[in-house]
Amino acid sequence: MQHYTEAVRDHFLNPRNAGVVEDPDGVGAVGDPSCGDLLRVTIRVRNDRIDEIRFQCRGCPAAIATSSAMTELAIGKTVDEAWHITDEDIEAAVGGLPPEKRHCSNLGASALGEAVLNYLHRCIELSMKEGASV
């Protein structure tokens, strides 16, 4: 692990927000078939902000570390701000990654995006149901 930054090592050894949000408002899951990494993100949204976020990751130290860092970037952000978190933002949050591990930050941004889309889809469905019953 010596080719990783101190931030990567810290997030890997002490991951933040690991686990599952009970009764989440949004869920996103992605995988990288080329390396076998899998990431699942659950979110709770209150007042249009990510109030709680958790992740489950099966993967290498870089995948786990970037998933942890992604949760720290997203917590407290509006849904729109969270949607705009990029691979580059996540990689910067861990102080960079070796070139062969840069794809790991894609998991976090993609899974977070999927969770936000899932949340928005649920909001639209709820709005349509409420509109139909009026």
Q: What is the mean pLDDT of residues 53-80?
A: 97
CA dist 84 → 47, 87, 114 (Å): 18, 10, 12
- Percent of the chain topping pLDDT 70: 96
Counts for the chain of helices (H) and strands (E), in that order: 5, 3
CA dist 68 → 47, 124, 131 (Å): 23, 29, 38
The identity of residue 63, as a single letter, is A
pTM: 0.91
Domains and CATH numbers, the chain: 6-132 (3.90.1010.10)
**Tens digits of residue pLDDT in 91-126:** 999 999 998 888 877 899 999 999 999 999 999 998
**How far is Cα 21 from Cα 44, in angstroms, rounded to an integer?**
7
**Tens digits of residue pLDDT in 74-85:** 999 999 999 999
Q: Could you tell me which of 9, 66, 4 has the C-alpha nearest to residue 41?
A: 66
Ramachandran angles phi, psi of 86, nearest 5°: -110, 170
Reported as type and span, the H/E element at residue 55 is strand 49-58
* Predicted pLDDT at 2: 64
Mean pLDDT value across the chain: 93
